[in-house]
Structure 1
């Protein structure tokens, strides 16, 4: 454990609670230090560190594209990274990976849950169950830990076999506090001792600890850190939802945290509505925050567009040294609703190339590692065209490139309201000629075969 904060109130949300929105909310209400949830070393070592310019966060993203750990500048000097590990080399590698984004690193040596102990983590690091059966042996163990050079030690005042419903052993924590010189953080008082802010100091005093770590009591109501007193439950929930929306927190985690706050009222009308939600938007509707959700989504989309325009991506061809000043560029996106249903810009461009006896258009597409978006360059008559904006799919990026080419050449692109072109008339005749009874399976198969045999076929038109 590397922790150098003394005489501080510490929040340590456990299980799935220590995500960024909850940590920021706790800081709002007066917590000095916040913990992330326990994250396993192997999972962290698979992550890639990404600076998210849209959300203004640092995201550690797994190969599955899931955000495993997220932090921001506001909590950089106040967030403790809690690590589950059974291997010193892996633990060191994770520490080096995240050291510039967190204030401290905590090695979890106390979790008795099976998922930790099976992997040799948590309480398994204590080497044997007997170690915590007697206070004397616990004190000896802590002295050994102190000699490793740790800056602080957090003590959860229960035995390995005990759970939340068992009384916390304040005398055990006090014995450890008096036996070592490093700061001791007292933990485990949520269930029976900590109900309001003043109880935090009382728990610290009775355990003779340097500071207090609060988990479940803070999860139930983060405003417990307010010296002036806790806020009404629904006010706290709405404040939490704001952060959850602002930082794109996964709705399942948001829902879980809200259910923990409302825990004894899950059968109330509000609780039932919350239980039925299936998305962040649903949650916002329950709390009459739809307009806030929509404004955040709009703001984020605008940031994405702005970043797409400003990010300098000089590499868009196979040749690393090729300059793109010969590529015609403009900020264009293909919006399906703006175009006629029978045709697409790619089809217009292909038809024009055939008419002019040019080779058919050639599309080259790259994917950006930052957000997995795409941008495409189309080559027509030895000239290149592309949009400066990035799209969420390869097909959309190709359509955008085709639009740039068509607009540069002054050609129709199939937008709603354009004068009807030969291609549109041809497509309409083709649809009329190929009309079949759609209840006839043979007729449907004929249409499929014709579509897929057409080199001009683009399944984005279906």
Structure 2
């Protein structure tokens, strides 16, 4: 049965969750009363390389990059209420991404309001505001090319008339709604939001207009949402920072104690295996001026979800969840069929995922096996893909060639991937995690590698143990990308 089409005319409040819109935070906002949630802005260049993967362990749909990073994760619970927000400057690429995610989201949004350099230097975000022809081309391509609603988010232009003219042109593309952030491109959250601009736009078009930008000045509780909506004349209200600080701002029953909100969020983060550094960042944003409290310092010092769980007294919940996930993982591995090799010309290919420890690599196993069989040393021929600087390697062993069909983020990973394809095709141990010791790599070499790896890891941990603080311009690692988080 087809998903119900999302109507932006019947929405009171939305949670765009820009910068930290990972699955746990989105589900939390829905729990507390948000009508619709947006993911964090994801760049089309990265998303277009992704593969759609059904994650039977987490019960999610993951969009996985060639380097195995999950760029976007969603689940059935939010399917009809999550909007996929992308950064793009190219109509064809935008359509390719929209079609990739179309079956798993309720709508697609183009962010034309982000003023950050990582977005504008590529012609995306607020840079599009000075190129209305490209805006029109992107939106028309999307509206005609996908079956779900298309929306966009803009900032206001230097004059009121310019802003109205742009939104009227956007309306003619057939979009389902337009979100208007009531600040100029050069303004930041400390500047007051221009409700008069949003109101003028809302009066000039018939498409639903979503008011954005009121978190600091206008919206501190759920009761303020209706007032912001009235003052701006908009159809609905979009919140980012207010929702990030306390997602219960959407609750009609009033805000909940912050301790309750943080605990609810952390349970989702554990349940969906959220990136630990993103979890830390979100919790620190909720703590705000209490980030230097004993709890805040514990959170800042934590390096894993295990340590974060301990800080909140959720060790038992964490352990039970891990046991449940492991049980699903075991069931999935038992029922799954092994990857089959496919011939690509004279090259044996296979789509593989890395599952080996860093100290004993597949290349070591392949080299030792080649020596044992008195063959020439494996030869690796590696190429780089220019558009995203990804790598793919072909290894030649006994005059036969092997290659992973997936591209990797480094030459080293690409070579390891080709070694795995060769080893799996030949039925040779590869040093996979959980694999019994085959004796192929000598004990002396194993211990030498392990000791060296331990020393390297110790040095890295020393660097990583420096506590993160929430300050202006702190780096944020989400499940999809690195963003610069702007503080109020």
Fold agreement, TM-score > 0.5: yes
Distance in 2, Cα, partners of 1:133 & 1:6: 28
Q: 2:322 aligns with which of 274, 297, 301?
A: 297
Superposed displacement of residue 3, structure 1: 6.8
Distance in 2, Cα, partners of 1:378 & 1:12: 46
Q: Which position in structure 2 is the counterpart of 1:406?
A: none
Distance in 1, Cα, partners of 2:221 & 2:441: 69
Going from structure 1 to structure 2, the CA distance change for 1:125 and 1:20 (only over 3 Å counts) comes to same
| 1:31-42 alignment runs, 5 A limit | 31-42=34-45
Q: 1:235 aligns with which of 256, 260, 267?
A: 260
Aligned residues: 351
Q: Which position in structure 2 is the counterpart of 1:173?
A: 198
| 1:222-371 alignment runs, 5 A limit | 222-313=247-338, 315=340
Distance in 2, Cα, partners of 1:94 & 1:312: 29
Instruction: Determine if contact 2:63/2:73 at 8 Å carries over to the other structure.
Output: yes
Instruction: Determine if contact 1:54/1:300 at 8 Å carries over to the other structure.
Output: yes
Q: Which position in structure 1 is the counterpart of 2:118?
A: 115
Q: Find out whether 1:457 has 2:460 as its counterpart.
A: no
Distance in 1, Cα, partners of 2:51 & 2:228: 40
Instruction: Determine if contact 1:187/1:214 at 8 Å carries over to the other structure.
Output: yes
Instruction: Determine if contact 1:203/1:212 at 8 Å carries over to the other structure.
Output: yes
Instruction: Determine if contact 2:23/2:73 at 8 Å carries over to the other structure.
Output: yes
Q: Which position in structure 2 is the counterpart of 1:25?
A: 28
Q: 2:180 aligns with which of 152, 155, 166?
A: 155
Distance in 1, Cα, partners of 2:405 & 2:264: 34
TM-score by length of 2: 0.66
Distance in 2, Cα, partners of 1:147 & 1:208: 21
Cα RMSD between the aligned structures? 3.2
Look up the SS of the partner of 1:178 in the other structure.
helix
Instruction: Determine if contact 2:156/2:197 at 8 Å carries over to the other structure.
Output: no
Superposed displacement of residue 457, structure 1: 2.9
Distance in 2, Cα, partners of 1:456 & 1:62: 31
Distance in 1, Cα, partners of 2:232 & 2:433: 63
Going from structure 1 to structure 2, the CA distance change for 1:395 and 1:18 (only over 3 Å counts) comes to closer
Instruction: Determine if contact 2:341/2:425 at 8 Å carries over to the other structure.
Output: no
TM-score by length of 1: 0.70
Superposed displacement of residue 49, structure 1: 1.2
Look up the SS of the partner of 2:103 in the other structure.
coil
Look up the SS of the partner of 2:193 in the other structure.
coil
Q: Which position in structure 2 is the counterpart of 1:12?
A: 16
Superposed displacement of residue 312, structure 1: 3.3
Superposed displacement of residue 128, structure 1: 6.6
Question: Gaps spanning 5+ residues in structure 2: where?
Answer: 133-154, 344-371, 373-401, 407-416, 448-488
Q: Which position in structure 2 is the counterpart of 1:45?
A: 48
Superposed displacement of residue 55, structure 1: 0.1
1:245-285 deviation digits (Å, cap 9, x = unpaired): 11110100000000000011112111122111111111111
Going from structure 1 to structure 2, the CA distance change for 1:397 and 1:226 (only over 3 Å counts) comes to same
Q: Which position in structure 2 is the counterpart of 1:127?
A: 130
Superposed displacement of residue 183, structure 1: 0.4
Superposed displacement of residue 394, structure 1: 3.0
Distance in 2, Cα, partners of 1:5 & 1:55: 30
Superposed displacement of residue 395, structure 1: 7.2
Distance in 2, Cα, partners of 1:378 & 1:171: 66
Q: 2:435 aligns with which of 384, 393, 397?
A: 397
Going from structure 1 to structure 2, the CA distance change for 1:394 and 1:461 (only over 3 Å counts) comes to same
Distance in 2, Cα, partners of 1:58 & 1:230: 31
Instruction: Determine if contact 1:85/1:91 at 8 Å carries over to the other structure.
Output: yes
Going from structure 1 to structure 2, the CA distance change for 1:375 and 1:279 (only over 3 Å counts) comes to farther
Instruction: Determine if contact 1:376/1:398 at 8 Å carries over to the other structure.
Output: no
Distance in 2, Cα, partners of 1:53 & 1:66: 17
Q: Find out whether 1:206 has 2:257 as its counterpart.
A: no
Distance in 1, Cα, partners of 2:430 & 2:287: 37
Q: 2:99 aligns with which of 87, 96, 99?
A: 96
Superposed displacement of residue 47, structure 1: 1.2
Going from structure 1 to structure 2, the CA distance change for 1:114 and 1:378 (only over 3 Å counts) comes to closer
1:296-319 deviation digits (Å, cap 9, x = unpaired): 11111111111111223484899x
1:176-200 deviation digits (Å, cap 9, x = unpaired): 0000010001101100110111111
